[in-house]
Amino acid sequence: MSCQKRMKAEVTEQVMAQMSEVLEKAFTDSLQSLSQSIYSGTDPTHSHANANNDYDFRHRMEDGKVFVARQSILDELFEISHIRTIYHMFIAALFLFIISTLTVDYIDQGRLVLEFDLFFYAFGQLGTVIWAWTIMFAYTLLVLYYILSQWGHLYHHSQWKMTVSVTSAVALLMAQIGMLGYFPVHVVLLYQLPPASCIIVILEQIRFLMKSYSFIRETVVMVLRAKPEKGNAFRFPTLSSYLYFLFCPTLIYRETYPR
């Protein structure tokens, strides 16, 4: 037993020393590289930032939001050598931690201890998460779309445009507050969801709020600017395009997207 404890202590000490040495070296090299790039004025992200600023200056708000072909923030950051170094060092530290944990468990128990109790606890009550998500999704897809489509059609065929607009706005606001504001928080607190399940519900709440805001923002402007000819019905965005938007990785609604 004393031999096992000594081996455990030695393995843990060696792993911690290696992890500390690797991380310290990575941070030292990264800070030196960052200081050199700042003094020399050769930050590779400056050109992208200047280009984006020039474009934003030329772009007018009334033109609406547009898609611009550009690299993501992570792609721009990974062009910097010291950012890549930190990223690789954290991956190496993670693997060292996993190996040390498995080694210590093998020394203590004589076998690999693979327990998933914490995982099952964190993702508990998945049934509650699924039906809560289904209700939020059904509201965002069907109810919100129905209210906006009805307003869009009535707006161009009614003499009481202001009354129709105010009524639709109040109904939509109350529905948004109830279904995407109060309902998810109520479910989390009422059922005392565990950490991971709680995060799923709250993040989906935020995602549906952002998606619905973008759809409302774009379609309202479209309806107000549209001038349908007499005898022709107003063409509202299709439900299929809205459904695609709810799952595609973008926050700007369009009926079609660049490929």
Contact 184, 201 (CB under 8 A): yes
Confidence (pLDDT) at 55: 47
Whole-angstrom Cα distance, residue 53 to residue 202?
A: 33
The mean-pLDDT minimum among 9-13, 51-55, 71-75, 132-136 falls in: 51-55
Whole-angstrom Cα distance, residue 191 to residue 204?
A: 17
Specify the 3-state DSSP secondary structure of 56: helix
Amino acid 151 reads W
Domain residue limits, the chain: 2-116, 120-247
Confidence (pLDDT) at 80: 79
Tokens for 54? 């020039």
Element (H, E) at 6: helix 2-40
pLDDT digits (tens, 9 = 90+) for 169-200: 999 999 999 999 999 999 999 999 999 999 99
Specify the 3-state DSSP secondary structure of 247: helix
Contact 163, 173 (CB under 8 A): no
Confidence (pLDDT) at 49: 46
Tokens for 56? 């934003």
Backbone angles phi, psi at 225, to 5 degrees: -85, -20
Whole-angstrom Cα distance, residue 79 to residue 97?
A: 27
pLDDT digits (tens, 9 = 90+) for 25-79: 666 766 666 566 555 555 544 444 444 444 444 444 445 667 677 777 878 877 8
Whether 133 shows a pLDDT value over 90: the answer reads yes
pLDDT digits (tens, 9 = 90+) for 81-111: 777 877 888 888 888 888 887 787 777 777 7
pLDDT digits (tens, 9 = 90+) for 190-226: 999 999 999 999 999 999 999 999 999 999 988 888 7
DSSP state letters, 124-186: --HHHHHHHHHHHHHIIIIIHHHHHHHHHHHHTT-S-HHHHHHHHHHHHHHHHIIIIIIHHHH
Whether 244 shows a pLDDT value over 50: the answer reads yes
Q: How far, CA to CA in Å, does 238 sit from each of 69, 87, 172, 241?
A: 26, 43, 19, 5
Whole-angstrom Cα distance, residue 2 to residue 19?
A: 26
